[in-house]
Structure 1
Amino acid sequence: MKNKEMSAGAPAVSGDNELAELGVAAAAVAIRNGDITAESYSAALLRRARDYSDLNSFITIDESTVLAAAGDADKARAAGSSAPLLGVPIGVKDSYATRGVRTTLGVETLDSFVPAEDADAVGAIKDAGGHVFGKINLVEMSFGLTGDNSRYGQVKNPYGLEHVPGGSSSGSGASVAARIVPAALGGDTVGSIRVPASLCGVVGFKPTTGRWPRGGVAPVSHTLDTTGILARSVEDAALIDQIVTKDVAVPLSDRPGLREAKFAYAPRQYMELIDPETEAHFKDALLRLQDAGAEVVEIDLGEDFSQLADRLTWNLFFREAMESVTDFLRRNNFPVSFNEIYGGLKPELKEIWSHLVLPSGQGYISQETYETTLSVDRPELQRRLGKVFTHSGFDALLFPTTPCPAPTIEHRSRFTVAGEEVDDRFLAKNTVPTSGAGLPGISIPIGLTGHGLPIGLEIDAAHGHDRALLDLARRVESVFDTLPAPA
């Protein structure tokens, strides 16, 4: 069934809220132990999806398919299955192909398309016993940071319905925060997992670029793109990471505290323009980490760091889009062409593509500039960030994930931060360098503003050190109070 067309069903029963609070790992254990059935869990989440339909977090939920998959999981459990995600429903960003469930990429041109194959990451979830709960709303073709979709509706932030949820994995952040699903697959090119995680108060993990499979997921930039996960705890993100990557590394340790942990932060680069409440929460976070035994040291990444990161990342973001999308549509048998998708875009996005994505556009960078971006700029950014971990010996780099809380939907395109007017790309100001360098990064919630809007802390680690990052992030997470569920 499409969008809000789920059947009326039975009213919510006592215990639905308790079931909805279960995270991925907790739900999987409860189902395997027979404490709950997969069907009762999925049914409770479906009822919650109806209750929170005004968030516009989903494009497609096929209720009968969800319940059938849950019933199959219960039968598998009775037959002795102990699959790690047995019976757990996961939300899937609608940029991922899903066998038998329509996949729109957020555009009207693909409103009725149903793929024959799953994206690789979706297949890994199913192989582990999980199933698709529904397809999640996103910005058209993953181009945007505010959750605005002209065909499927503006996604709203569960912590403030008049505020944006971030993007482009807009519905992923909103649906996990609203307890509709325990976790959701997303995609990150310049911050599209970490921005909505920060603004919606959930955990958002961007793996080292290239570590997670990208097959069957609509691209923006083949150099920058990565798939990833939004969840309500680092433990759940780590579990999904291990399943999708088939990483047999040692599981997360049970070490308490942060003694011997060494953190860097670079206020000159990441806090030059920042919302006062976000700055206060970040500084308080640093003090809490020190109280937990960590060493926290201020560093400087260079006067031109932000300019370098912005230039190379946005150059790649726009320059590679046409080639990447064209190749994806052909390889995955999507029944449209690049030109047909371009022709159906909302006017403001079509204008951006005309200027920056099409070779005829005035802002389309030359082949020479593109090659310089790849051969000079990107290695320099990687060298500079790499030194933080290799030469200076820091375990992680810390910064506010977004320099401000969620702006209002009314002023999503242009808004004011600390007295200065900015545009929506400002939401990715701090996440862009991580993407440009291809590093792993994770955003965790550290508090709420006076108006009840979440604030996120990003933790970045050295290239390829994803499991060490997840282990460290779990210990950092324990220092902060769990955010209350949105009212």
Structure 2
Amino acid sequence: MQKEIKSDRSSQGRGFAEIGVAQAARALSDGAFLAETYAEALLQQARERSELKAFITVDEEAVIAAARAADKARSAGASDPLLGVPLGVKDSYLTSGLRTTLGVSNLTGFVPAHDAGVVSAIKDAGAIVFGKNNLVEMSFGLTGDNGPNGQVKNPHAHNRVSGGSSSGSAAAVAAGIVPAAFGGDTIGSIRVPASLCGVVGFKPTTGRWPRDGVAPISHVLDTTGVFARSVEDCELIDQVVTKTSPSTSSEPADLKGVRFAYAPKQYLDVVDIEVGARFNEVIRRLRDGGAKVVEIDLGDEFSALANTTTWNLFFRETREAIVGFLRDNGISTSFDEIYKDLKPGLKEVWQHLVLPTGSKWLTPEAYEKALKVDRPQIQRLFADGFAKSGAEALILPTTPCTAPEIGKENEFLIAGKQVTFAALANNTIPASAAGLPGISIPMGKLSENLPIGLEIDAPSGSDRRLLTLALRVEALSISSL
């Protein structure tokens, strides 16, 4: 007999909206509820929260059919790790049989014949693709505004941006529509919305996760990643996507012996007063938990070098990356057609920075320098910082402020300084430039009940260690500060 998670339908729906991936997978395996029941509850949540515009496409019939198939497979003895768990997928990922728009109007009818690599991996593990999450067109933006599909609203305050470009994925997890959702991160497009929406956002080491079948921006910077309710969920999904086994080593629950670094000159120079104060509270909490937290200086050139290099690569590689993606995946549109239909502001950016005829198009010599001189220098500065401090990870506020108001994101203040939406990625850009793994975890809410995130970055390739450290930081309950 199937056990119910709650006693009545309304409270049952709320219960399903609150559980994470690992909890849902365990409950389904234990027979606490059926995958079909779970899917129906989440579909109802999606209908009730439709004003957020978190999804572009949800095929309800397909979701229910997949859930029934999962229940049947479990009855027959299947025990796949994500069997029957519905997950959101950013609409930049190809999904077989389910339309993929890349957020642009001229692909509203495109239905891929094959899945992106990450989608194949989660399907092989038994997960259900719940729907395709809204995003900034071609993943080009940090606020969550999409011309054809509308502005993704922040679940905590509908007059605030969600962050971007993986806007719908973050909002869907924060709103309890799905327990996790996939996104992409080139300069901060997972970590920024994770911070602004109050969820966990994991960016793996660049190249650790498959990127095939995902609309690109920069082959140097792009990485796929995930939003979830907990670090445990990110760890489970990382194991599924990378096909690695769970760690067998036992880790202490506290932080004794762990050494963190923070770099105030580079990451706290322009942050809201409230954000800086909350970050200092977290440092105190880490020290009380047994960790050593040491101050470092990554150098006078670090921030400007990381910012300039990252944006240069971001814009310079876009056109070639998109042309190749459309060609290699047999997508019946062209770069020029996509460009023609972009919203005015984004079209202007592409005109100057992405098109080879643009006034700010990066010269071959400058591009070569960014690749072979500047980016390696950023990596060296990080490596020196870790080596000299003995720190396992670097901590910083993920974003310098909480979510700006919709309509004011092109001109607002951070610590009294007038900025644009690009400032939201100031702290996430360096790890992107160097290809480091990073994770944003909630560190509570500030004024107007708006969340903010703590980012933890680690040396390249140390993803599993990063996730372990993040679990131990999360256990300090900094999300309730």
Q: Confirm or deny a common fold (TM above 0.5).
A: yes
**The residue matched to 2:78 in structure 1 has which SS?**
coil
Deviation at 1:420, TM superposition (A): 1.1
Within the alignment, does 1:425 sit opposite 2:422 as a pair? yes
* CA separation of 1:253 and 1:333: change in aligned 2, threshold 3 A: farther
The partner residue of 1:227 within 220, 224, 242 is 224
RMSD: 1.2
CA contact (8 A) 2:296 2:389 kept: no
* CA separation of 1:382 and 1:285: change in aligned 2, threshold 3 A: same
Deviation at 1:349, TM superposition (A): 0.4
In the aligned structure 2, how far is the partner of 1:431 from the partner of 1:381? 13
Within the alignment, does 1:111 sit opposite 2:74 as a pair? no
**The residue matched to 1:161 in structure 2 has which SS?**
strand
The TM-score with structure 2 as length reference comes to 0.97
> 1:285 — aligned with what?
282
In the aligned structure 1, how far is the partner of 2:35 from the partner of 2:71? 6
Within the alignment, does 1:404 sit opposite 2:373 as a pair? no
Matches within 5 A, 1:42-57: 42-57=39-54
In the aligned structure 2, how far is the partner of 1:424 from the partner of 1:433? 17
Q: Which amino acid aligns with 2:409?
A: R
Deviation at 1:168, TM superposition (A): 0.2
> 1:336 — aligned with what?
333
The partner residue of 1:300 within 297, 302, 314 is 297
* CA separation of 1:140 and 1:483: change in aligned 2, threshold 3 A: farther
> 1:96 — aligned with what?
93
Deviation at 1:306, TM superposition (A): 0.6
Within the alignment, does 1:320 sit opposite 2:317 as a pair? yes
Structure 1, gaps ≥5 residues long: 1-10
* CA separation of 1:283 and 1:483: change in aligned 2, threshold 3 A: closer
Deviation at 1:248, TM superposition (A): 2.8
In the aligned structure 2, how far is the partner of 1:177 from the partner of 1:253? 31
Per-residue deviation, residues 338-384 of structure 1 (Å, max 9, x unmatched): 11111110111000000000000010010000000001000000011
* CA separation of 1:116 and 1:205: change in aligned 2, threshold 3 A: same
**The residue matched to 1:263 in structure 2 has which SS?**
strand
Within the alignment, does 1:467 sit opposite 2:470 as a pair? no
In the aligned structure 1, how far is the partner of 2:412 from the partner of 2:434? 28
> 1:3 — aligned with what?
none
CA contact (8 A) 2:294 2:389 kept: no
CA contact (8 A) 2:297 2:385 kept: no
Matches within 5 A, 1:159-238: 159-238=156-235
Q: Which amino acid aligns with 1:100?
A: G
CA contact (8 A) 2:195 2:440 kept: yes
The partner residue of 1:449 within 446, 449, 469 is 446
**The residue matched to 1:90 in structure 2 has which SS?**
strand
In the aligned structure 1, how far is the partner of 2:131 from the partner of 2:314? 28
In the aligned structure 2, how far is the partner of 1:174 from the partner of 1:388? 34
Per-residue deviation, residues 293-341 of structure 1 (Å, max 9, x unmatched): 0000011011111100001100000000000000001111111011111
CA contact (8 A) 2:203 2:438 kept: yes
In the aligned structure 2, how far is the partner of 1:132 from the partner of 1:253? 33
In the aligned structure 2, how far is the partner of 1:61 from the partner of 1:481? 34
Deviation at 1:252, TM superposition (A): 7.4
Within the alignment, does 1:129 sit opposite 2:122 as a pair? no
CA contact (8 A) 1:191 1:432 kept: yes
Q: Which amino acid aligns with 1:21?
A: E
CA contact (8 A) 1:252 1:470 kept: no
Deviation at 1:250, TM superposition (A): 1.7
Per-residue deviation, residues 420-451 of structure 1 (Å, max 9, x unmatched): 11011000000000000000000000110121
In the aligned structure 2, how far is the partner of 1:108 from the partner of 1:314? 26
Per-residue deviation, residues 44-70 of structure 1 (Å, max 9, x unmatched): 000000000000000000000000000
The partner residue of 1:360 within 346, 357, 361 is 357
CA contact (8 A) 1:252 1:471 kept: no
Q: Which amino acid aligns with 1:18?
A: G
> 1:370 — aligned with what?
367
CA contact (8 A) 2:95 2:113 kept: yes
Per-residue deviation, residues 73-107 of structure 1 (Å, max 9, x unmatched): 00011001111001000000000000010000000
The partner residue of 2:24 within 9, 16, 27 is 27
**The residue matched to 2:56 in structure 1 has which SS?**
strand
Deviation at 1:405, TM superposition (A): 0.4
* CA separation of 1:421 and 1:482: change in aligned 2, threshold 3 A: closer
Would you say how many aligned residue pairs link Structure 1 and Structure 2? 474
CA contact (8 A) 2:259 2:292 kept: yes
Q: Which amino acid aligns with 2:179?
A: P
Matches within 5 A, 1:151-162: 151-162=148-159
CA contact (8 A) 1:309 1:436 kept: yes
- Please identify, of 253-262 and 127-136, the stretch whose mean Cα deviation from structure 2 is larger: 253-262
Deviation at 1:388, TM superposition (A): 2.5
Per-residue deviation, residues 177-234 of structure 1 (Å, max 9, x unmatched): 0010000000000000000000000000000000000000000001000000000100
In the aligned structure 2, how far is the partner of 1:201 from the partner of 1:286? 19
Structure 2, gaps ≥5 residues long: 1-7
> 2:435 — aligned with what?
438
In the aligned structure 1, how far is the partner of 2:436 from the partner of 2:479? 26
Q: Which amino acid aligns with 2:84?
A: G
In the aligned structure 2, how far is the partner of 1:329 from the partner of 1:337? 7
> 1:86 — aligned with what?
83
Deviation at 1:19, TM superposition (A): 1.4
> 1:63 — aligned with what?
60
